[in-house]
Structure 1
Amino acid sequence: MTGQSAAKPQPVHAEGHRVLIISRHDYRTRRRASVHFVARHMAQQGHQVTFMSIGYSWLSRLRGDSRADLFDRANAWEQVDGLQAYLWRSAWHPVKLPVSGKVESWLYSKWARNRCTALDEAAGAADIIIVESGIAPVLLKRIRAVAPSARIVYRATDLLSTAGVPECIEDMLWQSEADIDLIVVVARSMLPHFEAFSCPKLFIPHGVDTALLNQATDSPYATKRNAVTVGSMLFDAGAIRTLALARPEFTFHTIGSPKSVFPTNVIQHDEMPFAQTLPYLQHADVGIAAYQRAAAAAYLADSSLKLLQYKAIGLPAVCPDFAVGDHALRFGYRPDHPQEMVEAFDRALNAGRSPVASKDWSDVAAKLVEASLG
Structure 2
Amino acid sequence: MTTVVNDTRHAWYTRKWAQVFLHAVAWITLFSLPYLLRPSPDLRRGPDSDEQLWHIHFIVNAIFLTLFFYLNAGILIPKLFYRKKYLQFTGVLLLLFASHVYFRYLFVQAFITHKQFELKPTILFTFFTVLFMLACSTAWTMIRDKMNADKLASAKENENLKTELSLLRSQVSPHFMFNVLNNMVALARKHSDQLEPSLIKLSSLMRYMLYEADEDKVALEKETDYLQSYIDLQQQRFGAKVQVNVLMQLPEESYEIEPMLLIPFVENAFKHGTGLIPDARIDIELRAKQGLLQFSVMNKYNPEYNEIKDKTSGIGLTNVKRRLNLLYKDTHKLLINKENGWFVMSLQLKLH
TM-score by length of 1: 0.20
Which structure features the higher share of helix residues?
2
TM-score by length of 2: 0.20
**Structure having greater relative contact order (Cα 8 Å, sep ≥ 6):** 1
Which structure features the higher share of strand residues?
1
